[in-house]
Amino acid sequence: MRITAIDTYIAGNPWKNWLFAKVSTDEGIHGVGEGTLNYFGKTVEAAIHELKPLILGMDPFQVEVISQRLIRDVYSEGAQIHMCAAAAIEIACWDIIGKACKQPVYNLWGGRCHDKLRAYANGWYRGPRTPESFAEKAKTVAGRGYTALKFDPFGGAWRTLSRYDFDLTVDIIRAVRDAVGPSVDLLIEGHCRFNVATAVEFAEAIHQFRPAWFEEPVPHTNIPAMVEVARRSPVPIATGESLSTKQQFAELLKYEVVNILQPEPLNLGGLYAARKIADMVDAHFGVIAPHSAQGPVCSAACVQLNASIPNFFIHEIFDEFNEPWEKEIVTNPVEVIDGYIEIPERPGLGIDLNIEEILKHPYRQENYLPLFKPGWERREGASE
């Protein structure tokens, strides 16, 4: 079997352009992948086509060599942009392998470790930044069976919080906790916003609400700062989605203070790299909650990944809180029933692209998540 073509498609979701790849072979089997990266849809798409000549004619089963050609052999450090381009191709190769073997991808990595996957809701809080709005929406989502909710209550904060914003943020978390009760996990998203002092002060303030984690409170580029916060915080720290190499994970893990790791398969160059990192984390007694807030192909890929991980913790779900047409652009989209995902047994990723539907939603440059702009949580994107 040989790779004969790589085509790309962008679906213009108002808060993030989703970038998909289709890898075709000479045996008529094709695979699909995703390379979404917030603002850089067209940039990553161009990178896919620049990398494409390096692997045309190769056997898609040779994933390790394909990844080396896409990443090592170009001898450039493109970080997330480079890795997302490689990931779109690599994920599609696993989809091809699964289809050729008539097996879901997780069966190619040792099999299925879980009957179903516990999911947490993200993106559910679209609207004004008020305790009342967050509480009302949280109660609705918990009523649908979710046992964990993630949210960023910080507005457009960067580095520090004013006293007003600090108190408002605490009030939002208090309102969500009151709305959903003590048995629902709250996952507080930091989006790399703060310095160490602010992150620690805030962690101490919200400990009373017993959040399951405080995610990326300081920039991922400063591992010593993340370690310092983790040592001083009474709330568990989660991080990893923004890292783009296994060496970065190794550097973080050696301090033995962060035990909830969130590898993002797209930022790491694909599924197999994320699977290897899960083993690295397991060696440090940590758990894995992969980042999965991109498009529906990434969601399906993360289901395959999570199904195969013994130290899997929880699966991120943004899909239910996106535009309703998301379910039309792929076949067999990931579904959550009473807070859990049933693991599919279909070959490969278990999905395919509906290209005709994707073309109805063209790319728009203003489709991105402006996390440091006041009101970003309204997620209005191109409709602003």
Same domain, 243 and 293: yes
- Name the band, by pLDDT with cuts 50, 70 and 90, for residue 323: very high
24: in domain: yes
In the numeric block, which tokens belong to residue 67? Answer: 């990844």
- Is 348 exposed, middle or buried (CB count within 10 Å of its CB: 0-12, 13-18, 19+)? buried
On whether both 80 and 130 belong to a single domain, the answer is no
Give the count of domains, the chain: 2
Does 148 lie in the same domain as 197?
A: yes
Asked whether residue 284 is assigned to any structural domain, the reply reads: yes
What share of the chain has pLDDT > 70, as a percent? 99
pLDDT computed for residue 383 by the predictor: 46
Residue 57: CATH number of its domain: 3.30.390.10
Query: 103, 124, 157: which is the final residue of a domain?
Result: 103
| pLDDT value at residue 75 | 94
Q: Which one of 103, 133, 167 terminates a domain?
A: 103
367 and 13 in contact (C-beta within 8 Å)?
yes
Confirm whether 369 is domain-assigned: no
Return the beta strands (E) in 92-245 as ranges.
116-121, 148-151, 185-189, 213-215, 237-239
Residues 342, 306 share a domain: yes
- Residue-level pLDDT at 279: 98
Average pLDDT across the chain, whole number: 97
Distance CA(46)–CA(86), nearest Å, equals 12
Strands 116-121 and 30-34, sheet pairing: unpaired
142 found inside a domain: yes
Q: What are the backbone angles phi and psi of residue 18, rounded to the nearest 5°?
A: -90, 130
Residues 12 and 57 in one domain: yes
| Residue 55 located in a structural domain | yes
pLDDT at 285: 98
Measure the CA–CA gap between 206 and 161, rounded to whole angstroms: 14
**Does residue 379 form part of some domain?**
no
Tokens of 326: 């998301």
Q: Taking residues 175-184, what's their average pLDDT?
A: 98
Q: Above 90 in pLDDT, residue 384?
A: no
Q: 3-state DSSP call for residue 264? A: coil
Q: What are phi and psi of 88, to 5 degrees?
A: -60, -40
Residue 381: per-residue pLDDT = 58
H or E element in which residue 374 lies: none
**Do 36 and 165 sit in the same domain of this protein?**
no
State the Cα–Cα distance between residues 43 and 37, nearest whole angstrom. 9
Mean pLDDT value across residues 245-270: 98
How far is residue 177's CA from residue 200's CA, in Å, rounded to a whole number? 20
Among 103, 127, 159, the domain-final residue is 103
- Of 50, 90, 84, 62, the residue nearest 2 (C-alpha): 62
224 and 153 co-located in one domain: yes
What is the pLDDT, as a whole number, of residue 379? 84
Quote the percentage of the chain above a pLDDT of 90. Answer: 97
Q: Are residues 238 and 219 in the same domain?
A: yes
Say if residue 82 is in the same domain as residue 191: no
110/101 Cα distance (integer angstroms): 14
Q: Are residues 305 and 214 in the same domain?
A: yes
pLDDT tens digit sequence for 199-230:
999 999 999 999 999 999 999 999 999 999 99
Per the structure, the complete domain to which residue 329 belongs is given by: 107-353
Evaluated on CA atoms 194, 199, 205, 210, the torsion sign reads: positive
34, 298 contact by CB (below 8 A): yes
Band of the pLDDT at 336, cuts 50, 70, 90?
Answer: very high
Tokens (6 digits) for 48: 């896919």
